[in-house]
Every structure is written in structure tokens, then in C-alpha cells.
């Protein structure tokens, strides 16, 4: 939308106070940022030149939310509900976010996992409205010019994907941008980053999904994926353009393949304010669950032995975060890595076989394991659990049912209360169900999942299953980075975030063995995470004056809290000021 139609007026904390409107008539409600639907007052209708364009009754936001909820109740599937909410967002962002906020637990399943996976797969056939940016080899050389079209929106967070590692469904070509749209809606819900400050970006370097390439209606760049130096040049062009146009904005890398996720993250560690949520956000939220389990068990993190079953980007990211946390807790680097085992589709990851570079850090020296003689026999999941003395088992393998009774009972020999985290999603790829894990351990397992599960009956009562959802981490991390003015994203930020999320678990939940807080507390938790991240930025010396605010916290916790709370947006109609 050209700047001449509207402009945002900010308060001292960088929060939007008013929208200055430079047009009249139909264009006012054609923009989803200025449209209020039937909530335009009679005075606004006169001032903005839309009197007569709407029926005479004036509704308030609460009435609009109730009407929208009634419409949603008539939908027959979550995909229909997804389409309704996306359509609502495209017309009226305030109303869309107010509806979602009315029941965040319910609607998170609709706007993000698992429903967003279907939206990615059906993106071309469901396309209704342009959202975000699509870069491809035909326009990447104009990246700066294209990004500058959005400068008037004061972009603060971009979620960027190359569409290759989408959830558990892989390469989805241009459809992967739906993931970015969903993540940014959660940034708004959790951290209060106003929708106009958010930018979803697809880096469309082609697809190796033959079904898409053969689909006559596919909307993406119809070529096989760029690889090697061509791929790297494309990514470098984008990164250079982004940091030139939005030097103070966060670039969150999302759903890259495991081959590229670490390389892209590491190449931009110091020249962009960027991080990879699949690696670092996942690592932090899993660490949070494990820290909570230590509170339940009254044990120390440094006394555990960890096995990550699934050495992709998320799995190795978890191992990285555990390594950092163990060192921070007092172990040496060698001692920390000795307690972390990883497995992939070939079994235990050892240095005796060829490995992708990102797996090498946690590969075991087979000669140092007296029980490891035959890779085919001794590298299996039950054998590793038994012989390595695993007390914390983490699943990122997408291998449904891989946490068998044999594996779980082997863990129960190692520890009275095994910590078992089957994280693969969607639900049908989960390594084990919570109900089975509790049944196989007589209720002693400490469980959190990646996908949402219904409550289970434990000891005669219903118990919520904690979900290791990255939404507890990335919105607060983003808000803490913005508030502190951090010039780069440090690993310590994610350790701090993990401790903040774990600290948010109530004593009542601790007594019940629930490892994660309820998602209904997302906004409060995001504030606590932001405070922890901002404080870590101050301590590390990477903070600077907040580029989006007149108010500066000056490395003071009270000032930081005032800023992160003051800059947050809530779904409420802003004054529209005719210009």
C-alpha cells in the first residue's frame, strides 16, 4: 500500500497511537489496516467519505468478534476455519487478531500447526490475496527496490523461508509462505508486534516436489531447486538487500532444509539480526521442558544423560542448546558433550562413518564406548538407551511409534522418572502417545509433546499434556531483541528464554508433573521471555538504543519492562485521523 494512503503515528515507546489517513472513500476500507468494517462511527464515516457505503448500524469490536465466532462455528473443518480467518485478516487485521485472542488455544491449531500444513500443500489452489513477498531468480536482483516498498510499515520482524523443510511434509515450493504468515500472527499474539511491522518472505529457489512441478495451477517458480553456488548467491543477494533496507529488523529463518539451515544461520550470525527458529527456538523450548522436569525430580541438569532421536536441524539444535546449558551449569565442553547422544536414520551418530558437517559436533568416538561393537546391533535405539544410561529421551525423528515399550522400560531402569519428549509433528508422526508413555511407566514418565494432545487420565484425574511449542520462545525473543536494541542474536538469549519459560510453569503444574505452561498465558510468558533476553543482551554488551522507541531503558530492568510493555500492540481499533 503506497505511503500516501496512510501513515502511522507513534508514541514514546514506539507503539502505534494513530493512523493518519491521506485518502477518502473506498480506499479507507480497502486497506486491512484502516478498515473497521461496521465499527466505523458515524463521525468517521462522514470525515473519511464513506457515509452511505455501509449499513447504518454501528457495531463495536466485541460485537464483531461474537459475530465472527458464530460464523466460525458453522465451518466444518479447521481448513475452512483457516480460510475464514485468513480472509478476515486480509480485510481487517484488528478484528482477525481479536477473534484469535478470544481463544488462543483453539485458534492456534487453526492459524498454525497442524492446519497450516494443509494450507501450504493447497496454497496455489486456495490463493486469494497477495501476502508478503516472493523472491525468485527473476527478481532477486531487484530485492532492495522491492523491500523498500514496505519501508513505510516500519518493518520490525520478517519470517523468511526457502520452503524446503516445511513442518513434517518437506518441500512445498511457493506454498511455504503460509508458514511465515502463521508465525507472524503468533508474533502479534504473543509479543504484540503490530501486524504492519511484520513481513512474510518466500525465497522461491524452485522445488523438487514433482507433484507441484507437474501441477498446471502451481504458482511458484517452476524449476528444480537451485543448488550449490547458485543457491548461495541467491541467499547472499537477499541477505545483503535485507540488511541494507531493514538494518534494525529481525530476520527469522524458517523451515530451511537441514542441509542449509545451519549454513544460512551461521553465515549471517554477525551481519544481520537473525536466528533460525527450527534450530534455536526448538532447542530453547525443549530445554525449558527439561529444566521443568528437573524441578519435578529435584535433580540437576548436569546429572542427566540425553539422547536426541532424529539428528536433523531441530534435533541438532536441541543438542546445541543442551550443550550450552550444561556448560553454563558448570561442566567442561568435553564433559557436556559426553552426556549428549544423537541418532539418525542409520543409528547412533559416530565419527566412524561419513556425516553431514552439522552432525559432526555431537558424533561419538565409537572406540570410547565399550559397549559399541557392531553398528547394526549396538547403534539401535533400545541398545543405546540401555547401555548409555539415557535419562532424557527426545524425539525429532518423524518415526511414529519408535518409542516402543522396550525403549521406555529400558529408560525406567536408568531413572525412576524418565523424561520423554516425543516432539515430531503432526500427531500421526509422533514417536509415542502420552497415554502409552504413562501406561508403560505406571504414570512415572515426565512427558511433553511437539503436537497438541488431548488431556489424559492419570491417577484417576484428567491431566493436561504440556506442549513444547516454539511459540513460547520466538515471540518473546523477538520482543526482547527489539526492546534491548540488540545488535546481534546470541546463543545466550535462548538459554535465558528457556529458563524464563520453565519459570512460568506453576507450582500446581510442577506437582502434577506438567512440564510446560498453558498456551493461554502466552502474552505474559512472552513478556517474561523478552525481559530475560533483553537482560542477557545488556549483560553481553550487545545492546544499544532501541531504534524503534524514543524511550530508552538504559540497561535498567525497570526501564526494559516499561518499554517492552509499552511498545506492545493489542487488537483494538486505533483513531483514524483524516489528513
At residue 114, the pLDDT reads 84
Cβ-count burial of 169 within 10 angstroms (0-12 exposed, 13-18 middle, 19+ buried)? middle
386 is known as an active-site residue: no
**Kind and range of the H or E run holding 420:** strand 419-422
Q: Give the Cα separation of 291 and 502 in Å (integer).
A: 6
Q: Residue 318 in contact with residue 394, Cβ under 8 Å?
A: yes
531 three-class SS: helix
At residue 425, the pLDDT reads 81
Pairing of strands 6-10, 16-21: antiparallel
At residue 131, the pLDDT reads 86
3 pLDDT more than 70: no
Q: Give the Cα separation of 380 and 389 in Å (integer).
A: 14
Pairing of strands 347-348, 340-344: antiparallel
Helix crossing, 522-540 with 491-503: angle to 10°?
140
DSSP string, 92-152: -HHHHHHHHHHTHHHHHHHHSTTHHHHHHHTHHHH--S--SEEE-TTTGGGHHHHHHTTGG
Q: How far is CA 455 from CA 78, 134, 426, 461, 515, in A?
A: 20, 40, 17, 10, 13
Work out the percent of the chain whose per-residue pLDDT is above 90: 87
Mean pLDDT value across residues 545-569 = 94
At residue 269, the pLDDT reads 87
At residue 1, the pLDDT reads 40
Work out the percent of the chain whose per-residue pLDDT is above 70: 99
Q: Residue 499 in contact with residue 532, Cβ under 8 Å?
A: yes
Residue tagged active-site, from 36, 183, 359, 429: 183
Nearest to 422 by CA among 438, 457, 414, 507: 438
What is the CA 19 to chain-centroid distance, rounded? 29
- 554 or 527, greater pLDDT: 527
At residue 5, the pLDDT reads 86
Mean pLDDT value across residues 6-14 = 96
At residue 429, the pLDDT reads 87
Q: 169 pLDDT band (50/70/90 cuts)?
A: confident
Q: Residue 179 in contact with residue 117, Cβ under 8 Å?
A: no
Bridge partners of 421, per DSSP, are 394
Phi, psi (rounded to 5 degrees) for 4: -65, -20
At residue 166, the pLDDT reads 82
Q: 459 pLDDT band (50/70/90 cuts)?
A: confident
Nearest to 529 by CA among 502, 490, 554: 502
Domains and CATH numbers, the chain: 60-256 (3.40.50.10380), 277-548 (3.40.50.720)
Q: Residue 521 in contact with residue 504, Cβ under 8 Å?
A: yes
Q: How far is CA 423 from CA 2, 282, 375, in A?
A: 43, 10, 25
At residue 2, the pLDDT reads 44
What is the sign, positive or negative, of the torsion defined by CA atoms of 174, 178, 181, 182? negative
Q: Give the Cα separation of 263 and 252 in Å (integer).
A: 14
Nearest to 282 by CA among 448, 468, 532, 475: 468
Across the chain, mean pLDDT equals 94
Buried b (16+ CB within 10 A) or exposed e, 232-253: eebbebbbebbbebbebbbbbb
424 pLDDT more than 60: yes
384 pLDDT more than 70: yes
Q: Give the Cα separation of 118 and 458 in Å (integer).
A: 33
At residue 426, the pLDDT reads 77
Mean pLDDT value across residues 373-391 = 93
**DSSP code, position 170:** B
Q: 376 pLDDT band (50/70/90 cuts)?
A: confident
Bridge partners of 291, per DSSP, are none
Instruction: Find cell 527450527 and name the residue.
Output: 278
Helix crossing, 557-566 with 474-484: angle to 10°?
110
pLDDT tens for residues 278-331? 999 999 999 999 999 999 999 999 999 999 999 988 999 999 999 999 999 999
Q: 29 pLDDT band (50/70/90 cuts)?
A: confident
pLDDT tens for residues 147-168? 999 999 999 999 999 999 887 7
112 is known as an active-site residue: yes
At residue 427, the pLDDT reads 83
pLDDT tens for residues 477-523? 999 999 999 999 999 999 999 999 999 999 999 999 999 999 999 99
Q: Residue 302 in contact with residue 323, Cβ under 8 Å?
A: no
Q: Residue 158 in contact with residue 199, Cβ under 8 Å?
A: yes
Mean pLDDT value across residues 514-539 = 97
Nearest to 212 by CA among 253, 255, 169, 179: 169
At residue 170, the pLDDT reads 87
Q: Residue 531 in contact with residue 557, Cβ under 8 Å?
A: yes
Residue tagged active-site, from 13, 112, 150, 372: 112
pLDDT tens for residues 391-407? 999 999 989 999 999 99
**Kind and range of the H or E run holding 529:** helix 522-540
At residue 332, the pLDDT reads 97
Amino acid at each position: 500500500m503506497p505511503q500516501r494512503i496512510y501513515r502511522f503515528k507513534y508514541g514514546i515507546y514506539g507503539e502505534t497511537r494513530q493512523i493518519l489517513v491521506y485518502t477518502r472513500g473506498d480506499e479507507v476500507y480497502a486497506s486491512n489496516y484502516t478498515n473497521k468494517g461496521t465499527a466505523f462511527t458515524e463521525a468517521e464515516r462522514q470525515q473519511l467519505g464513506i457515509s452511505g457505503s455501509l449499513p447504518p448500524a454501528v457495531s463495536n469490536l466485541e460485537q464483531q468478534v461474537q459475530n465472527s465466532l458464530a460464523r466460525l462455528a458453522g465451518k466444518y473443518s479447521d481448513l475452512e476455519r483457516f480460510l475464514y480467518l485468513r480472509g478476515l485478516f486480509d480485510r481487517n487485521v484488528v478484528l482477525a487478531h481479536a477473534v484469535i485472542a478470544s481463544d488462543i488455544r483453539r485458534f492456534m491449531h487453526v492459524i498454525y500447526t497442524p492446519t497450516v500444513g494443509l494450507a501450504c500443500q493447497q496454497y496455489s489452489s486456495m490463493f486469494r490475496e497477495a501476502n508478503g513477498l516472493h523472491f525468485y531468480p527473476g527478481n532477486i536482483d531487484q530485492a532492495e527496490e522491492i523491500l523498500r516498498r514496505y519501508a513505510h510499515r516500519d518493518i520490525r520482524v520478517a519470517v523468511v523461508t526457502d520452503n524446503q523443510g516445511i513442518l513434517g511434509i518437506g518441500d512445498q515450493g511457493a506454498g511455504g509462505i503460509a508458514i511465515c504468515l502463521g508465525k507472524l500472527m503468533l508474533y502479534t499474539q504473543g509479543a504484540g508486534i503490530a501486524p504492519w511491522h511484520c513481513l512474510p518472505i518466500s525465497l522461491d529457489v524452485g522445488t523438487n516436489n514433482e507433484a507441484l512441478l507437474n501441477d498446471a495451477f502451481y504458482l511458484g517458480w517452476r524449476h528444480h531447486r537451485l543448488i550449490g553456488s547458485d543457491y548461495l548467491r541467491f541467499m547472499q543477494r537477499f541477505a545483503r538487500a535485507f540488511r541494507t533496507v531493514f538494518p534494525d529488523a529481525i530476520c527469522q529463518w524458517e523451515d530451511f532444509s537441514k542441509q542449509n539451515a545451519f549454513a544460512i544461520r551461521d553465515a549471517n550470525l554477525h551481519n544481520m539480526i537473525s536466528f533460525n527458529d527450527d534450530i534455536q527456538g526448538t532447542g530453547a523450548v525443549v530445554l525449558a521442558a527439561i529444566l521443568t522436569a528437573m524441578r519435578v525430580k529435584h535433580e540437576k541438569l548436569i546429572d542427566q544423560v540425553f539422547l536426541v532421536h532424529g539428528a536433523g536441524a531441530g534435533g541438532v539444535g536441541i543438542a546445541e542448546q543442551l550443550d550450552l546449558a550444561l556448560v553454563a551449569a558448570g561442566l567442561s565442553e568435553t564433559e557436556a558433550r559426553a552426556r549428549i547422544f544423537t541418532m539418525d536414520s542409520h543409528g547412533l551418530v559416530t565419527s566412524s562413518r561419513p556425516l553431514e558437517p552439522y552432525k559432526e559436533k555431537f558424533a561419538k568416538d565409537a572406540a570410547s564406548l565399550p559397549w559399541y561393537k557392531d553398528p547394526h546391533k549396538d547403534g539401535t535405539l533400545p541398545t543405546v538407551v540401555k547401555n548409555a544410561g539415557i535419562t532424557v529421551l527426545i524425539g525429532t525423528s518423524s518415526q511414529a511409534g519408535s518409542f516402543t515399550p522396550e525403549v521406555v522400560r529400558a529408560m525406567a531402569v536408568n531413572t525412576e522418572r524418565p523424561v520423554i519428549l516425543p516432539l515430531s509433528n503432526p500427531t500421526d508422526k509422533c514417536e509415542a502417545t502420552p497415554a502409552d508413555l504413562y501406561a508403560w511407566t505406571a504414570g512415572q514418565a515426565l512427558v511433553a509433546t511437539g503436537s497438541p494432545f488431548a488431556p489424559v487420565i492419570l491417577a484417576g484425574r484428567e491431566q493436561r499434556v504440556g506442549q513444547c511449542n516454539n511459540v513460547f520462545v520466538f515471540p518473546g525473543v523477538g520482543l526482547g531483541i527489539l526492546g534491548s536494541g540488540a545488535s546481534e542474536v546470541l546463543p545466550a538469549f535462548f538459554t535465558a528464554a528457556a529458563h524464563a519459560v520453565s519459570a512460568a510453569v506453576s507450582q500446581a503444574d510442577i506437582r502434577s508433573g506438567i512440564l510446560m505452561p498453558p498456551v493461554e498465558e502466552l502474552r505474559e510468558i512472552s513478556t517474561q521471555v523478552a525481559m530475560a533476553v533483553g537482560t542477557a543482551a545488556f549483560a553481553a554488551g550487545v545492546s544499544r538504543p532501541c531504534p524503534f522507541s524514543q524511550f530508552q531503558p538504559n540497561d535498567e530492568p525497570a526501564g526494559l519492562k516499561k518499554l517492552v510493555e509499552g511498545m506492545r500492540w493489542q487488537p483494538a481499533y486505533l483513531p483514524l485521523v483524516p489528513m
